[in-house]
Amino acid sequence: MAVSLFRSSGALNRLLMIGSGLALSLHVQGVQAADMEIMQPINITAQRQSEGSASTLRSGASLEDSPRSVSIITAEQIAERPGPGGIQSLLAELPGIEFARSGGLGGQLVMRGFNSNDGRSILAIDGDRYRGRTTLEFNMLDPNSIERIEVIRGPASALYGSDAMNGVINIVTRRSMVDVDQPFELQPHIRALEWGSGSEMFGGRVELVGGGNGFDVMIGAHQREAQDYSTPIGTVDNSSYRMRGLDFNIGYSPTPLSRWELSGRYENVTSNRGGGLGAAPGAELLQVSERPIIERYLRLAYSGQEFGAFADSLDASLYVRDFETDIYQVNNKTAGITAKTHLKVYTPTEIGGHLTALKTLGDHQLSYGGDFYLEDFEGRLSNNTRYDKGTGVQLSDSGWNKMERDTSQTSIGLFATDTWTLNDRWVLSGAVRSDWIESKIGSALPTESPAQSAAFDDSRVKRYHAYTGSLGAVYKLTPNWHLFGNFSRSFRAPSGQAMVSTSVSGTITTLPNADLDDETSLTTELGVRWYGLDSHMSLTAYQSDYDNLIALVVLDKDLRQQQNISKAQMRGLELEGKVGLDDRWSMNYAATYTRGTDKSSGEPLPNIAPLTGRLSLRYQQDDWYGEAAVRAYKGKTRIDKTQERASASYAMVDAYAGMNLGRVLGSGWEDWQVTVGVENLFNKVGRNPVVAQDINYSDNLVGNSLVEPGRSAVIKLTVNY
């Protein structure tokens, strides 16, 4: 495997040379500072502790001792980064992750070559899974409500079960850090204000924060609104958005070692797609909008410590979430006809939770527990009308029809992990998990055709049982240099919706398939890390082999069906790190090489960015900083010619500066920080290689594939308390 992984293109060899050169540079610095301290390890725990943590690792191990590829986006990084979109752009600064944009706000993430819409990665909120909106889930998150973001790049089914084949993104939400023993008091605060010129974006967040008498309270409200964004070649029509929301986190600590938490949120988002997934080739020919997406969420959680022989700490939760989405589509692709579709997706309802225990036994850090979810999905409702383009006269109206059968899915998983510090050099890790999933399919619909009904073949109940696991090790070659490796098995059970989905595009019908099997993957990861004083580096090589991938198969010229047909392979390199050049200057870097192949056909997997990178140079004073960053994308020439074109290379420069307002306004403003910047400083044209397009239409259209935003001035005011 290792030989095949490192055999291939010149681009891969160049990236290896870059990584080796940076590593050598860092090593030289380490020799020159032989007596320096090693960077302090970052602990990620299984329970929400006093700082409000929630873990993706589900163990008590530090990042330094984990063989997985894990990154943390801190509260400071979130507060500093302005911009008109959501968290996608911030996550795209990490290696192995790309932003597949569909509008000013909307889009998906591509993790290790696969789009999050495919359901092969997981989004979690405070350690609990966020299901129900793989296409739209990242549109629903206000960055200013987040304390930090924890990211596992690579397989994590041994921790999270089905779907965690390519990674996990865990959002840790903000909570009040008040002394709960003080007298009860609440105070209003401005948390953040933002503005961006490229889309006339304005947004902000306010909070009511405080507590006392055992309570900690945070209640927040946010709004962000933007018009269609501009690019160097024109405005992207139908790319505007508006998001509004309320959230709260109320904790009660009956003892110093325990805490109950009630949290919830309401989101109302209007998101217009200027292109990308589901909206290519763009608004001139296809206009898609969600008006609105509504989410309601309520969660009860408990965390405590000192449970004797059973556990040192315990973390549990129970949550319920539901969605309502109205989707509007205007299709002008057919000559002389305008087709309008209104979809009501008032579903699913999710109920879930988890229980995790952490126990230290000598040199072992054990974590064990389980999680579950219940998902009820009601078939979507659609109304289709057709109009004459010339006269505007309505030609037909389908009325409201149910598109697919109802389904429900129940999932129960049990897991255990162990991190064993064998000696000063070796740290061994292992995880094992068992999942039971049952999907039930509802009764036939009156509108089903005989072929659609026959496709179910009386398969009304589908059950999956999977064992997954991982084995890993960290070898500390020196205090500065660590080698690591990990081998994992992951799986993905198809959702109930995937099995019953029935749609018609023109005259082509997609049949349901109630006999889909689960997908599986085997992944090997090898890498090296370097730790120093204000410097670090990580280089990871991986290969993932997928079996039973679900793909859309052409049965005949008028019929298609989702089937388990393909084997696929994804290979990659991920480099990230920081170099402290001196007391004031530092450099951050990240680079990713990705190569995907459909092993059944030998053809490339589509919409993969072959080589990307980000390099930033920062000058930091005590109360102000300046930073310049270059983000670069190599054009793709190795493509799936049935659904994508070759793309051009491009690079964009961003410049930022930030200052603590106490420097100029006095000590009463020390908690206030302002960041100003210009993104895409030189107004370069860029089309991200991972964004979907429609090759039946010209690639000169702004939305095919969707052009990235042009030059934009941005400003952000953040208040820390």
Extended beta strands in 306-393, E state: 313-331, 337-345, 349-361, 364-377, 381-388
Q: CA 62 to CA 66: how far, in whole Å?
A: 6
Per-residue pLDDT, 29 = 34
591-606 confidence digits (pLDDT tens): 999 999 999 889 999 9
Return the bridge partners of 559, or none. 509, 556
Distance in angstroms (rounded) separating the CA atoms of residues 613 and 632 = 5
What is the rounded distance in angstroms from the CA atom of residue 136 to the CA atom of residue 273?
A: 11
DSSP 666: -
Instruction: Kindly provide the b/e burial profile for residues 303-324, where b requires at least 16 CB atoms within 10 angstroms of the residue's own CB.
Output: bbbeeeeebbbbbbbbbbbbbe
Alpha-carbon distance of 599 to 569, in angstroms, equals 7
- Residue 538, pLDDT above cutoff 60: yes
Q: pLDDT tens digit string along 689-721?
A: 999 999 999 999 999 999 999 999 999 999 998
Say which residue the tokens 């891969």 belong to: 12
Q: Which residue has the tokens 């409200």?
A: 221
pLDDT at 516 over 70: yes
Radius of gyration in angstroms for the set of CA atoms belonging to the chain, rounded to a whole number: 25
Q: Which residues contact 646 (CB under 8 A, 6 or more apart)?
A: 635, 636, 637, 639
Label residue 61 by pLDDT band (50, 70, 90).
low
d(CA 588, CA 30): 17
**Secondary element (H or E) of residue 662:** helix 662-665
- What span, in angstroms and rounded, lies between the C-alpha atoms of 332 and 129? 38
Q: Tell me what the mean pLDDT of segment 320-342 comes to.
A: 95
Strands (E), 84-227: 97-101, 107-111, 114-115, 122-125, 128-129, 146-153, 167-173, 185-196, 201-212, 215-226
The torsion defined by the Cα of 532, 533, 535 and 540, in degrees rounded to 10, comes to 20
Task: Note the pLDDT of residue 54.
Answer: 54
Please, which pLDDT band fits residue 16 given cuts at 50, 70 and 90? very low
Longest dimension (CA), the chain: 81
Whose CA is closest to 589, among 149, 187, 22, 77? Answer: 22
pLDDT at 125: 95
pLDDT at 5 over 90: no
Measured at the CA of 518, the angle between CA 604 and CA 111, to 5 degrees, comes to: 45
In which band, very low, low, confident or very high, does the pLDDT at 60 lie, cut at 50, 70 and 90?
low
Task: Using the predicted structure, report yes or no on whether residue 23 has a pLDDT greater than 90.
Answer: no
What is residue 430's three-state secondary structure? strand
Span 108-143, pLDDT tens digits? 999 999 999 989 999 999 999 999 889 899 999 999
For residue range 380-406, what is the model confidence (pLDDT) as tens digits? 999 999 999 999 999 999 999 998 999
Q: What are phi and psi of 435, to 5 degrees?
A: -125, 140
Check: pTM over 0.85? Answer yes or no: yes
Average pLDDT over the chain reads: 89
Is 199 strand, coil or helix? Answer: coil
Given this model, what pLDDT does residue 383 score? 95
Query: Rounded mean pLDDT of 487-491?
Result: 97
CB atoms < 10 A from the CB of 707, how many? Answer: 25
Strand intervals (E) in 557-649: 559-580, 585-598, 603-604, 611-620, 624-633
Predicted confidence band at 8 (pLDDT cuts at 50, 70, 90)? very low
Question: Tokens at residue 685, please?
Answer: 């044209």
Res 13 pLDDT > 90: no
Q: What is the mean pLDDT of residues 84-92?
A: 86
Indicate the pLDDT class of residue 561, thresholds 50, 70 and 90. confident
What are residue 667's phi and psi, to 5 degrees? -65, -25
- Give CA angle at 203 (133, 320), nearest 5°: 30
| Strands of 97-101's sheet in order across | 97-101, 107-111, 114-115
